[in-house]
Amino acid sequence: MSALDWVVLFGTLGAIVGYGLWKTRARVDMAGYLHGGYRDDWRTIGLSVMATQASAITFLSTPGQAYEDGMRFVQFYFGLPLAMIALSVAFVPRFYRLRVFTAYEYLESRFDLKTRQLAAILFLLQRGLSAGITIYAPAIILSKVLGWSLNGTCLVIGALVVLYTVAGGTRAVSQTQKQQMVVMLGGMAVAAVVIVLRLPPNLTFGRAVRLAGVFGKMNVVDFSVSPGNRYTFWSGLTGGFFLAMAYFGTDQSQVQRYLSGRSITESRLGLLFNGLFKVPMQALILFVGVLVFVFYQFNPSPLFFNESEVARVYATPHAGELRALETEHREILRAQAHRDRRARVVPRRGRARRDRRRRGARAGHGRRGRRRADARRPAARRVRPARRDQGRRLRLHHVRRQQLAARAHRPLARRHPVRRHVLDGERAVGARPVHPRRLLQAALAPRPDRRPLPARGPAVHGGGGRARRRVRAGRVAARQPHPGRQHPRLPLLRDDLGIFLLAFFARRVRATPVFVAALVSEAVVIAVWLGTSIGFLWFNVLGCAAVVGLALALDAATPPTSAPAATRSAGPEISKI
């Protein structure tokens, strides 16, 4: 890092923390701490709401998502603008008029304490998991840049965030997030410009986009109706709407942002600002990932992108194994480049239909080559020095325990028991040094519950030579979930929206049916998540509908007993709204 880099890094961190601390001067009481004295205007609210949702994760992983999967992730946000309108109409005025500090406070006055606690626990559970990942992802990069340990970096980042948020309250958070948003968006724009400038001189911007389209990266909208397809227009519009309603309407991290507005008008405008600019912002971030993909079509991509990790492995006795994998990776890329040159993947203008057919065939070649190259990356990820034994062992990541258990007859599995979790939720396996190909075979094996494996070793590979095995490995890799991207998302916080809708609009429904319905619905959603393969966005619709439907049914089926005073007393206040 140059001196300027250090100045920018620590200047930004220092300014943000200093600003947060400076804001504590104005804090006088709990209301000021939680609402910031109702002083934020719509610009601050809008940027703060966007920054709360778009953490460092967004700016780190969204381009990666586009690199792997194309632009279709943008459909995830199609329901968001509609949700912003619904929240502006239905939620914001209610929260203001009830003068609540938190969204869950209202649930206690409307229902009872246990319902408030259930919603708050769901929120805290999800927010805690999210905060851990949000700190961890940038800490990975920062630890490499600074040469610090990962744990130490996480602690430092966490401590800084806690310092200025606890000291400064919601106003400090809103103000600093506004600045963070500007910094992050500016960085993203600079990254896009740098990538475009580094593309080959004879590759125009239009041709670069066309090349991305050849590889299926410009798949922005998909109108197909398939519940198993994770990102479609319909799942984004419907599931995304319910998800955004739940997130922006019931998640305290967001509710607090717009409840700090100067007035209902400012809060509404802040939300609508988010609704207007969120989708194009995400599209642009995804497009940066597409440009990175194009960039690596003309520049050799490394086997493993984290150079410092690679350097650490080279300092261990396993450097030879990694070197062999890298050599193999380079050979595949070279062969692919040779094929691409022959096929002239970049199409010329015109000849639309005929060229499109040819491009499809060429893209097939390109995609197969890329899959084969990508098939080496999981193995490289595993060739890392273990922490405890000073890099004397290899550590296998992303290999499930079941995969090795299914291969228990093989020497590899017998030698490498399960040892610890890795962060992405997979099981990691500590392994003795083995041939990289064996690691690759173990890593690429499909999960036994999805695709039964043959009983004996030779049959696993199906015979054939080395080239055939490579192709099969590539095909299997293409079917495997991508680490960190396609892991099933935990269906938490699908109930909160239903609880709030009942609180707002079902004035006679009692607390206990709502509480029971919320618990049952969460179980239903988890069961559906475990038992089916429908896209996770649909869980939002299912969870909300299940809570509302079950609560109304239970309320109608059970005779009213002695209703809590709080439940009834909240009625007239609600009816004023």
Partner 1 sequence: MPIEPPEAEPARPELGDAPPFATWRRIYLVVVGALAVQVILYAALTAAFR
| Residues that bind partner 1 in the complex, under the rule CB under 8 A | 38, 71, 74, 78, 81-82, 84-85, 88, 93, 96-97, 209-210, 212-214, 218-223, 233, 261-265, 268-269, 272, 275-276, 279-280, 283, 356
Cross-strand pairs, 395: 430
119 versus 212: smaller Cβ distance to partner 1: 212
The sign of the CA dihedral 23, 167, 272, 89 is negative
Task: Say which residue the tokens 């041939």 belong to.
Answer: 435
219 versus 229: smaller Cβ distance to partner 1: 219
68 versus 326: smaller Cβ distance to partner 1: 68
Cα distance between residue 532 and residue 577, in whole Å: 41
Asked whether 273 and 344 are in contact (CB, 8 A), the reply is: no
Return the HEC string of 432-472.
CCCCHHHHHHHHHCCCCCCCCCCCCHHHHHCCCCHHHHHHH
236 versus 535: smaller Cβ distance to partner 1: 236
Task: Say which residue the tokens 């940066």 belong to.
Answer: 288
Q: Minimum distance from CB of 360 to partner 1 (Å)?
A: 9
Give the Cβ contact number of residue 112 at 10 Å. 19
292 versus 526: smaller Cβ distance to partner 1: 292
Asked whether 184 and 193 are in contact (CB, 8 A), the reply is: no
262 versus 410: smaller Cβ distance to partner 1: 262
Q: Minimum distance from CB of 221 to partner 1 (Å)?
A: 5
Q: Minimum distance from CB of 85 to partner 1 (Å)?
A: 5
Cα distance between residue 233 and residue 261, in whole Å: 33
Q: At what angle do helices 103-110 and 252-259 cross, to 10 degrees?
A: 100
222 versus 555: smaller Cβ distance to partner 1: 222
Q: At what angle do helices 103-110 and 496-505 cross, to 10 degrees?
A: 50
Q: Minimum distance from CB of 369 to partner 1 (Å)?
A: 20
Give the chain's length: 577
What letter would DSSP give residue 40? B
Which helix (H) or strand (E) segment holds residue 516: the answer is: helix 511-531
356 versus 420: smaller Cβ distance to partner 1: 356
User: Pairing relation of β-strands 418-421 and 394-396?
Assistant: unpaired
222 versus 340: smaller Cβ distance to partner 1: 222
Asked whether 502 and 553 are in contact (CB, 8 A), the reply is: no
Q: Minimum distance from CB of 263 to partner 1 (Å)?
A: 4
Q: Minimum distance from CB of 429 to partner 1 (Å)?
A: 40
Q: Minimum distance from CB of 210 to partner 1 (Å)?
A: 6
Structure tokens at 178: 């506004």
Q: Minimum distance from CB of 28 to partner 1 (Å)?
A: 17
126 versus 219: smaller Cβ distance to partner 1: 219
Give the Cβ contact number of residue 538 at 10 Å. 21
Give the Cβ contact number of residue 414 at 10 Å. 11
**Which amino acid appears at position 485 of this protein?**
R
What separation, in Å, do the N-terminal and C-terminal C-alpha atoms of the chain show?
Answer: 57
Structure tokens at 121: 């626990």
Q: Minimum distance from CB of 213 to partner 1 (Å)?
A: 3
Nearest to residue 133, comparing CAs of 427, 422, 428, 543?
A: 422
Q: Minimum distance from CB of 219 to partner 1 (Å)?
A: 6
35 versus 382: smaller Cβ distance to partner 1: 35
Cα distance between residue 298 and residue 199, in whole Å: 8
97 versus 388: smaller Cβ distance to partner 1: 97
78 versus 538: smaller Cβ distance to partner 1: 78
3-state secondary structure of 133: helix
211 versus 428: smaller Cβ distance to partner 1: 211
* Exposure b/e, 377-412, CB count within 10 A at least 16 = b: bbbbbbbbbbeeeebebbbbbbbbeebbebbeebeb
Cα distance between residue 207 and residue 184, in whole Å: 28
Q: Minimum distance from CB of 301 to partner 1 (Å)?
A: 22
Q: Minimum distance from CB of 235 to partner 1 (Å)?
A: 14
The sign of the CA dihedral 37, 41, 44, 47 is positive
Q: Minimum distance from CB of 34 to partner 1 (Å)?
A: 13
Q: Minimum distance from CB of 99 to partner 1 (Å)?
A: 8
